[in-house]
Amino acid sequence: MNKWRLKTKLTVDIFLAIAFVFNIITALMLLLNTGGGGRGQSATLVNLFDFSSRNSLRLIHDWTGLLIIALIIFHLMLNWRTILCYFKNLFISTVKVAKVEQTCKNV
């Protein structure tokens, strides 16, 4: 595997993990924040990080959710050949797990 592809995979995975953490945090904050300020106001850059505002939390949550979807699609595109290799070997009962890993490692 070339160095560019490996760095791209690592970068996508890191951003995916960061977006996932932000999404989980804002989901929990939305769940626990029943009131909060900023009702009837749209979230702007000025009050974007006002975590007492449900609108700001909702904006961050929605955008990180969209980012997660985009990164998952990109992640699947980068790893598609490996995924197919694993699935092809999944239904062959005589192939050992170590052999599948060795066969699919260089894909």
Structurally, the chain folds into a number of domains equal to 1
Given this model, what pLDDT does residue 87 score? 79
- Inside any domain, residue 45: yes
| Domain around 25 | 3-79
Tens digit of each residue's pLDDT (9 = 90 or more) over 34-77 = 655 445 555 555 555 666 677 778 888 888 899 999 999 999 99
Q: Name, in order, each residue with C-beta under 8 angstroms of 82's C-beta and a sequence gap of 6 or more.
A: 104, 107
Distance CA 66, CA 39 (A): 24
- Inside any domain, residue 27: yes
Give the mean pLDDT of 4-32.
Answer: 87
- Inside any domain, residue 98: no
- Inside any domain, residue 40: yes
- Inside any domain, residue 103: no
Write down the pTM of the prediction: 0.66
Q: How big is the chain, counted in residues?
A: 107
- Inside any domain, residue 52: yes
- Inside any domain, residue 33: yes
Amino acid identity, position 33: N
3-state DSSP call for residue 3?
A: helix
Distance CA 36, CA 40 (A): 11
